[in-house]
Amino acid sequence: MIFRNETTISLRTEKEAKTWFKTMLFWSFSIFFYSIVISGRILALIVEIKINKEKFMREVFPMPERQQINKSKKRVDARAKVTGKAKFGADLKFHNMLYGKVVRSNYPHARIKSINTDEAEAHPEVAVVMTAEDIPHNLFGVIIENQQVLAEDRVLYIGDGVAMLAADSREAAREAAELIEVEYEELPGVFGVEEARRPDAPVVMPGEENNQVIHHPLRKGDVEQGMAQADVVLERQYTTQFVEHAYLEPEAVTVIPEERNTLVTVYGSVQNPNATRDALATVLDCDLSNVRIIQDNMGGSFGGKDENISSMACRAALMALQTGRPVQLVNTREESIIESYKRHPYTMKYRIGARENGELVAMEIEAAADSGAYACQTPFVTWRSVVQATGPYEVPHVKTDTYGFYTNSPYTGAMRGYGSPPVIFAQESMMDELAWELGISPEEIRRKNMFANNSRTASNQKLDNHEVSLAEVMDKALEAIDYQEKYRRYSQPQPGDIKRGIGFAISYRGVSLGAEAIDAAGAIVSVQKDGSIIVYSGLAENGQGLKTIFSQIAAEELGVSLDRITHMETDTSISPESGSTVASRSTLMGGSAVKNAAENIKTVIKEFVAEEYDYQGEIVYRDDALFTSEGSKLVDFPELAASAFHSGVFLSSYGWYKAPGISWDEETGQGRPYFTYVYGCQAAEVEVDTGTGEVRVLNMAAAHDVGKAINPANVRGQIYGGTVMALGHALMEDLGFSEGYIRHTNFDEYLIPTIKDAPDNVEAIIVENPDPAGPYGAKSIGEPAMELGGAAINNALSQATGRRLRDLPLNLERVLLGRNLSREG
């Protein structure tokens, strides 16, 4: 999640986390000033934005004939993937490889009384058996270091590992794992945030005083004074569920001991190679340079292959070093669902005050997230919630508190959208409730309050350095789905059981990490002597298409065709550490770094061309050649590469991009939490069977301002995927939790949308208001695409039925009866 410029930052308590947060903010602030100096030109132009938008656009984005950018180029990895040649983590095999297996807790909370591994050790095919006793450095963690590689004396959730082994075959490993006997003393558990925050609640995390992981306050104006001015005050509670990432590929890692010059080399579906490297260096107590992570193709991640993969890599590494043999760990789907972290369930209390005409005057919000057994990324996830909780609306008086609490449920961490989908679900549902209460339309209430250029957010940030395009995205999405006509039609009485409704939601979303952490990324562009080009990036392909985007950017800058570029897998020993591939930051951060590297190369080329070809003017790079500004060809690119090489000129470069500055006051939540924002609107049309509770989403329209679409087909793909994922969360996804146990451990019960659940049509509308901060003006799309669907679908459903539901998922029982049913009663 975080970019770190020190080797290890290990925190064990909330207090330490806070101090660390402050340090980070100090750094961010310093960078802010630094960036003012270096980005003078941009800032000068930003001032101009208000004077003359068009002139500004022309100057910053002269947009000459582009050959790669804004084109739906085919994915660079598609061919390997359609032929079955692309290797994923579980596809690797190494000589003499062992198969690992982990024995997990049987209880959500228990003391481990004894572990007997004798029989397993005696198994003829077993090479090693280990427990926490054999692990001197047993703790790791990205923000707070309190996640156990294997549980020491207490298991804190159902997925905690207690022992592990490796054997010659998968079968033997499975068999031997069953021979390990663990004796537990079951302990009462803490489940749900309500229970966790009670003063007398048992403390989940050893060493803590209570169950609070973090608290982020935000104070603007005086909320009580605001409420007093309101004509209407609505108070509601919303909840969202635990959600499984359900990447199609279960986690897989292979660790090779002492390969080449490293202590361990790790291959696998690693979302954030640097974070996994940090965990390994901590647990193995070695230098970062001794750990090498090489990423394989990722069969989906969505934020979900981070801490759990780090944990697996640590386990496999320990066994690999113990045996001197490669060790592979591949989860079954059940293991994946039981062990991996989830999206945080939220309980959200909203109190909103508005005037009769719909104008918002005050919001009071409390959002509590279930962090499960570990801190994981809860401090940052809930931080994004605190920034976005009021939605994209101007509210003079705001009081928001977001919290995370430890419980004995599976731990929760990053998932596409991060802390925003739950609060958007609540807040955008609330907006409709309010409109209803006031007798105005959902559209009107939003138009009255939403951000425009120069609006001030709840953090009191003035939105003045980019186009605030809420009205534009909203207009476009609503038009595409024919909202007004359908809203009118579905507001009439509908005879029969089958009813239709239409609804929408809008959002603003901070781009990249914001004040979560220092925000910078790097890349390497290396021109070979035959003119082929190798790109390494610190941010990693997660299946979203990063390699294609980065290749397009490198190709664009150097004027070469895409097939000249080879984008390598992220390799921590080569690629510059760039923080995590999260927060939809790849295009903006990583893309800028690739662009910077290519620009550095062009600076060298310019000098070389001046000398070698006696041309001092602007060089135009296109069609695999260099041209003068008048259009006469100077030299073909491969020839240039060759002659540079033979003249001893180095055509490779690191590129680096540091995000513009930000600031944040931890006590009040005031400042500039993000350097820029994206805006989106999604609308959904649903059909509900009021006789059975079945809901079908007929159509969706999604308009997103992405700044600039480097690859429009890719952007659309993100939108289609994001909306359908949101549909799953909204209607069906349910882990069947009861008191820390998970009932739905495979895809027969944990249901995600099939092709028949996807809406008949999803209209993806790309809105482009280039942003000064991004490469070619590009911002982001991965997460915005999935944060709105839940609220839009809920609003559509409410219109259809005339009844408001406030808890996810909107399953058969809730829709038919207005409440959930469970086996436990």
Site for ligand FES, rule CB under 6 A? 248, 300, 543
Q: Are 107 and 184 in contact (CB under 8 A)?
A: yes
Between 54 and 748, name the residue whose CB sits nearer to other proteins.
748
For strands 741-742 and 232-239, give the pairing: unpaired
Counts of helices then strands in the chain (DSSP H, E): 23, 32
User: Which residue's structure tokens are 């000068």?
Assistant: 44
Looking only at residues 743 through 802 of this chain, which bind other proteins when binding is defined by CB under 8 A? 746-748, 751-758, 762
Q: Which of 716, 729, 779, 804: binder of other proteins (CB under 8 A)?
A: 716
Q: At its nearest, how many Å lie between ligand FES and the CB of residue 77?
A: 11
- The least CB distance from residue 295 to ligand FES, in Å, is 16
Q: Toward ligand FES, which CB reaches closer, 326 or 543? A: 543
The Cα 611–Cα 589 span in angstroms is 34
CA distance 588 to 581: 11
Q: From 59-67, 211-219, 665-673, 719-727, give the range in contact with other proteins by CB under 8 A.
A: 719-727
**Burial per residue of 536-551, b for 16 or more beta-carbon CB atoms within 10 angstroms, e otherwise:** bbbbbbbbbbbbbbbb
CB of 100 to other proteins, least distance (A): 16
Least Å distance between CB 718 and ligand FES?
12
Return all residues near 123 (Cβ < 8 A) that are at least 6 apart: 167, 172, 175, 176, 179
Q: Which is nearer to ligand FES, 270 or 505 (CB)?
A: 270
Nearer to other proteins, 24 or 582 (CB): 582
Task: Return the amino acid letter for 712.
Answer: P
Nearer to other proteins, 221 or 693 (CB): 693
Closest residue to ligand FES, judged by C-beta, is 248
Kindly identify the residues of this chain, within the stretch 505-544, that bind other proteins according to CB under 8 A: 542-544
* Strands of the 181-186 sheet, one edge to the other: 154-155, 110-116, 181-186
Strand bridging mode 633-636 / 625-628: antiparallel
Q: What is the 3-state secondary structure (H, E, C) of 323-358?
A: HCCCEEEECCHHHHHHHCCEECCEEEEEEEEECCCC
Cβ neighbours, 10 Å, residue 657: 23
For 79, the 3-state DSSP assignment is helix
Residues 411-470 that bind other proteins (CB under 8 A): none
User: Applying CB under 8 A, what is the total number of residues that bind other proteins?
Assistant: 80
Does the footprint of other proteins cover residue 557 (CB under 8 A)?
no
Least Å distance between CB 76 and other proteins?
10
Would you count residue 273 as binding other proteins (CB under 8 A)? no
By CB under 8 A, what part of segment 211-270 binds other proteins?
245-250
Of other proteins, ligand FES, none, which one does residue 565 interact with (CB within 5 to 8 Å by kind)?
Answer: none
Residues 317-356 that bind other proteins (CB under 8 A): 332-333
**By CB under 8 A, what part of segment 4-33 binds other proteins?**
none
The Cα-based distances of 816 to 688, 692, 805 in angstroms read 10, 6, 11
737's CB contacts (< 8 A; 6+ apart) are: 242, 409, 743
CB closer to ligand FES out of 170 and 606: 170
The entry of ligand FES, other proteins, none that residue 720 binds, CB within 5 to 8 Å by partner kind: other proteins
Q: What are phi and psi of 412, to 5 degrees?
A: -125, 150
User: If you count them, how many residues does the chain have?
Assistant: 825
β-sheet bridge partners, residue 114: 183
Q: Of 560 and 762, which CB lies nearer to ligand FES in the complex structure? A: 762
**Smallest gap, in angstroms, from Cβ of residue 99 to other proteins?**
11
* Nearest approach, Cβ of residue 423 and other proteins (Å): 23
- CA–CA gap between residue 580 and residue 1 (Å, rounded): 5
Nearer to other proteins, 174 or 489 (CB): 174
Burial 97-120 (b: 16+ CB within 10 A, else e): bbbbbbbbbebbbbebeebebeeb
**In angstroms, what is the minimal distance from the CB of 702 to ligand FES?**
19
Q: Which residue in 177, 209, 194 sits closest to 100, CA to CA? A: 177
Residues from 33 through 72 that contact other proteins (CB under 8 A): 72
Distances in Å between the alpha carbon of 447 and those of 389, 468, 472, 767? Answer: 18, 13, 11, 18
**Using the rule CB under 8 A, which residue among 74, 489, 529, 803 binds other proteins?**
74
In the bound state with other proteins, the residue whose beta carbon lies nearer, of 76 and 640, is 76
Q: Which of 303, 545, 559, 680 binds other proteins (CB under 8 A)?
A: 545
Q: In this complex, which beta carbon is closest to other proteins, that of residue 205 or of residue 246? A: 246
Query: Closer CB to ligand FES, residue 379 or residue 543?
Result: 543
Interaction partner, residue 72 (ligand FES, other proteins, none; CB < 5-8 Å by kind): other proteins
What is the spatial order of strands in the sheet that 232-239 belongs to? 212-220, 397-406, 360-372, 346-354, 232-239
Cis previous bond, 775, omega within 30: no
User: 78 to 137, contacts with other proteins by CB under 8 A?
Assistant: 78-88, 90-91, 93
Of 365, 405, 416, nearest in space to 386 by CA: 365
For residue 582, state whether it binds other proteins (rule: CB under 8 A).
no
Q: In the bound complex, what is the minimum distance in angstroms from residue 811's beta carbon to other proteins?
A: 7
The footprint of other proteins on residues 298-317 (CB under 8 A) is 298-302
From the list ligand FES, other proteins, none, which binds 542 (C-beta under 5 to 8 Å, kind-based)? Answer: other proteins
- Least distance between ligand FES and beta carbon 300 (Å): 5
Shortest distance in whole angstroms from residue 528 CB to other proteins: 25
Least distance in angstroms from the C-beta of 656 to other proteins: 28
| Block residue for tokens 């770190």 | 4
471 class by beta-carbon count within 10 Å (0-12 exposed, 13-18 middle, 19+ buried):
middle
Task: Return the range that interacts with other proteins (CB under 8 A); candidates 619-627, 648-656, 664-672, 714-722.
Answer: 714-722
Shortest Cβ 824–other proteins spacing (Å): 8
Q: Could you tell me the strand order of the sheet in which 633-636 lies? A: 619-622, 625-628, 633-636
Candidate list 175, 443, 624, 687; residue touching other proteins; CB under 8 A: 175
Please name which of 180, 178, 170 lies closest in space to residue 125, comparing C-alpha atoms: 170
